[in-house]
Structure 1
């Protein structure tokens, strides 16, 4: 049985407590887009020296701004589902009273666009696209998260592909090289599987509220097998591309990380429901390390081209 949480005094007065605001924005979720942005910076091949203010601003944009906006919007439109799955979240618990969850999401959207505009036109376009995806993921009438196929694709793109693109674009000041776009897209596809595993924690509430996550649609066993396949295949494509681009050392490194993931996947599939969170803390770590290895391969290619 969930433990009830009493609203903070500020919430009782109609204002959210600072701790509730921070919890609403879910800092733990910022790591993925910030990491992907860093991979984009590395892959551009442009030296970081002289660009640190822009890099720091881009990291803030990717995590504490755009990603946090998506979390606030998601919590607002998921408040009825969270009352079942996670009743201690700020909105269902009453620590984020009234319509404050919505107001925070709108304010963070405006702030994100302001920062993106200051970083350049390509960054503004990417941020605008990401914010549109964030809102239609959670908000009716589209509410992409109602179907795991579409919702997970939107999150994968926002968490991996767009931040990677943004990091490379902010360094180059232009549209990134097609090889960067290809690798960023492939890792976005793989993130679809990561998001499928993330849905395992809320199967009961999703089913009751008619949210058709993939574990609800397919059952946990089939959804876990699909997630593993979706995570592995894009990495195989990245390995093949790195070989084709004469970055065999990097390809071998990514292949080794994938091999370790396959070992962990075999254990995951023996108890998908019980080990989904465990895999997201182990196999996913290897996945994102592979992203960084691929980024260094792209960096070497960019520097070769500039030589």
Structure 2
């Protein structure tokens, strides 16, 4: 995200944007709202949608910000132009931003009720633990990140009392399995950086090819999970117009990722996979009114 504001204010705004990585908190907020729509079977109240989005955005943003604090020494070597090691953001500013993002996220969740606040505090603790101690733990760290992604749908479903809706758990499982696979694949593209951190990633311990094979198997599991709603009768055949193209694209790109020859090619395939799965969420919500009418 670029800020055309000239001078020190614009420089600081750009540094904050680099720190937060706004596309990730935005995605978290959108997935929470998607969870609300799926869980309720319709559009949530604007108040509920706004608070859900704000919770996802600010709690995710808080995790992004605190990550740079715990990564400071590594970033001094590997990413010296990140906001903190480059001096564009100070420790005091980072601490203040972490407090603000956490406070706004918790406040939005509290306004949605005690259950929402409890779920938010839980995932916030998991994010802090990951940044502080478990980032180098390999598969456990990968699973913690994937759990945070799946949490967005569960949280969205919870705030509309929709956890009895099986599709909430399907989307949470899809998000978890997909992100776990991409976290493992991402580790295969950053073996050199992980060597410096002594991270216990699958790629570093067992080799890049082994990690990419596991990522590919998780893509197959992603497709298998996507068949459950049709087998159970939760979704009509109308939704196949969304799931089939996504499944084919995921399998195709997962194979291209598995066969990638360079780290840059692998990262490009991972980005493409994320775009495809983002399309799944948006398209599912978009066709829902049409498919419900066709039943």
- Output the TM-score relative to the length of structure 1: 0.81
Structure 1: stretches of 5+ with no match in the other structure: 1-7, 11-15
Conserved in 1, the CA contact under 8 Å of 2:219 and 2:254?
A: no
Match of 2:36 among 18, 24, 41: 41
Q: Which residue in 2 is equivalent to 1:81?
A: 74
Q: Which residue in 2 is equivalent to 1:245?
A: 233
Partner secondary structure for residue 200 of structure 2: coil
Match of 2:164 among 177, 180, 183: 177
Aligned residues: 284
Conserved in 2, the CA contact under 8 Å of 1:254 and 1:293?
A: no
**Within the alignment, does 1:263 sit opposite 2:239 as a pair?**
no
Match of 2:148 among 149, 158, 171: 158
**Within the alignment, does 1:186 sit opposite 2:173 as a pair?**
yes
How far, CA to CA, are the matches of 1:165 and 1:119 in structure 2? 14
Give a deviation string over 1:120-169, Cα, whole Å, max 9, x none: 22221221111011100011xxx12112211111111212x211122222
Evaluate the alpha carbon distance shift between residue 208 and residue 198 of structure 1 in structure 2; reply closer, same or farther with a 3 A threshold: same
CA offset at residue 180 of structure 1? 3.4
How far, CA to CA, are the matches of 1:193 and 1:18 in structure 2? 33
How far, CA to CA, are the matches of 1:18 and 1:292 in structure 2? 29
Structure 2: stretches of 5+ with no match in the other structure: 1-6
Match of 2:276 among 274, 286, 296: 286
CA offset at residue 195 of structure 1? 2.0
How far, CA to CA, are the matches of 2:288 and 2:204 in structure 1? 38
CA offset at residue 296 of structure 1? 7.5
CA offset at residue 80 of structure 1? 1.5
Q: Which residue in 1 is equivalent to 2:200?
A: 212
Match of 1:197 among 185, 188, 196: 185
Partner secondary structure for residue 24 of structure 1: helix
- Which of structures 1 and 2 has the larger relative contact order (alpha carbons within 8 angstroms, sep 6+)? 1
Q: Where do residues 217-236 of structure 1 align in structure 2 (5 Å cutoff)?
A: 217-236=205-224
Q: Which residue in 2 is equivalent to 1:18?
A: 13
Evaluate the alpha carbon distance shift between residue 87 and residue 200 of structure 1 in structure 2; reply closer, same or farther with a 3 A threshold: farther
Partner secondary structure for residue 47 of structure 1: coil
Q: Which residue in 2 is equivalent to 1:54?
A: 48
**Within the alignment, does 1:124 sit opposite 2:117 as a pair?**
yes
Give a deviation string over 1:177-216, Cα, whole Å, max 9, x none: 1513421331212211122233345432221121223332
Conserved in 2, the CA contact under 8 Å of 1:85 and 1:204?
A: no
How far, CA to CA, are the matches of 1:180 and 1:241 in structure 2? 7
Q: Which residue in 1 is equivalent to 2:4?
A: none
Conserved in 2, the CA contact under 8 Å of 1:214 and 1:223?
A: yes
Conserved in 2, the CA contact under 8 Å of 1:240 and 1:251?
A: no
CA offset at residue 21 of structure 1? 2.1
Give a deviation string over 1:55-112, Cα, whole Å, max 9, x none: 122112212x011011011111011222233221111111112343344223322221
Match of 1:107 among 87, 100, 103: 100
How far, CA to CA, are the matches of 2:134 and 2:171 in structure 1? 22
CA offset at residue 251 of structure 1? 4.3
How far, CA to CA, are the matches of 1:246 and 1:95 in structure 2? 51
CA offset at residue 252 of structure 1? 6.0
